Structure 1
């Protein structure tokens, strides 16, 4: 065991390396496989060594969320219009969640509050406030957008509401549902996401205009 710990130290184990390994494990085997002992084995160190980088299991799970969200972050908010920034972020977050479907339940169940994630939230709030949204409303916008994106990802990961399933229903019993599903095309989920996102952003825009 001491040799394992030494190998981990010589490899320059860092919090970032621990979180990246944790996300790889979740991607490969799911959230249930993630434990300090298992992660230590993946990294070639004792489980206790990990506590130098993440204080507990909750912090480790927060870090996994942080890793997923980090893949969706633009270099900076405020480089374009607020609407373009939010649209780009929503699409990027969707892509990140699609790449890590096993982590989606974690985002639904656990509000992560790492310094890195809080810094991102601060940047979003600042961008929206600079655009003219009242400070309390910036949180409404941010949470509404994030909840929509994560909910969409959860539905996709669970196969909920797919056009394919509705298209296979009995057309005599459900003619409208079947017709709508069949006319939606092969990329219905993406089109539905874009439609809902545009409606959401348009609602925010109207709220700002009433401001």
Structure 2
């Protein structure tokens, strides 16, 4: 028994059943060990979940862009985050709610800030821009993994008939509202975020 083996088991359990399934007792049973033996290597569940998140974050593939344009770097980074979410759909919620002070955690922060610096922003403004981008990515990707059956999600049921007189604008686009193209929506939202950064670059 060692920490690496315990963390591996936690990652596998999260991938199968989600982070809510993790407990020291459950992992001990998975490993065929006594519960107390796990505490010799991991002090508690919170630390274990952080270690599992770090393990998954460390799997993120560095992206490469043959361009000096900051927009291309922002796009490539965002797509790399999406790839990680699709590879680990059940764990992505866990990644989104952990503050990792490790090398794995800071690698993606550093990359995001570097891309924003390429656009000409540093300091407090850069942090605000990074957080806005993160909020977009987390929102759209959590919806994607939650509503994609191939990723373990649940397909959304279609909308019922809408009262045209009460909701005329909704009725006008009811077919569009009832369908999802995750590739298109991700890229559309990403371009909106980039356009916002471009607008912020303009002088008042």
Give the TM-score range, shorter chain.
0.7 to 0.9
Alpha-carbon shift at residue 34 of structure 1 (Å): 0.6
Which of 127, 130, 137 aligns to 1:149? It is 137
Summarize the alignment of residues 93-132 of structure 1 with structure 2, pairs less than 5 Å apart.
93-132=81-120
Q: 1:115 to 1:184 in 2, by over 3 A?
A: same
Q: More helix per residue: 1 or 2?
A: 1
Output the CA distance in 1 between the equivalents of 2:69 and 2:45.
Answer: 39
Summarize the alignment of residues 53-72 of structure 1 with structure 2, pairs less than 5 Å apart.
53-72=41-60
Alpha-carbon shift at residue 170 of structure 1 (Å): 0.7
2:122 corresponds in structure 1 to: 134
Q: Which moved more, 1:183-192 or 1:138-147?
A: 183-192
Summarize the alignment of residues 70-89 of structure 1 with structure 2, pairs less than 5 Å apart.
70-75=58-63, 81-89=69-77
For the residue of structure 2 that corresponds to 1:113, the secondary structure is: coil
Would you say 1:194 and 2:187 are equivalent positions? yes
Alpha-carbon shift at residue 203 of structure 1 (Å): 0.9
Q: Write out per-residue CA displacement over residues 45-82 of structure 1, whole angstroms, 9 at most, x where no aligned residue.
A: 44445456544322222223334434444256897533
Alpha-carbon shift at residue 208 of structure 1 (Å): 3.2
2:24 corresponds in structure 1 to: 36
Q: 1:130 to 1:171 in 2, by over 3 A?
A: closer
1:168 corresponds in structure 2 to: 159
CA RMSD of aligned residues (A): 3.5
Aligned 8 A contact 1:72 1:92 in 2: yes
1:3 corresponds in structure 2 to: none
Q: Which moved more, 1:195-204 or 1:126-135?
A: 126-135
- Structure 2 stretches lacking a partner, 5+ long: 148-153
Q: Write out per-residue CA displacement over residues 99-125 of structure 1, whole angstroms, 9 at most, x where no aligned residue.
A: 433334434544333332024323432
Output the CA distance in 1 between the equivalents of 2:41 and 2:194.
Answer: 39
- Structure 1 stretches lacking a partner, 5+ long: 1-7
Aligned 8 A contact 1:78 1:85 in 2: no
2:150 corresponds in structure 1 to: none
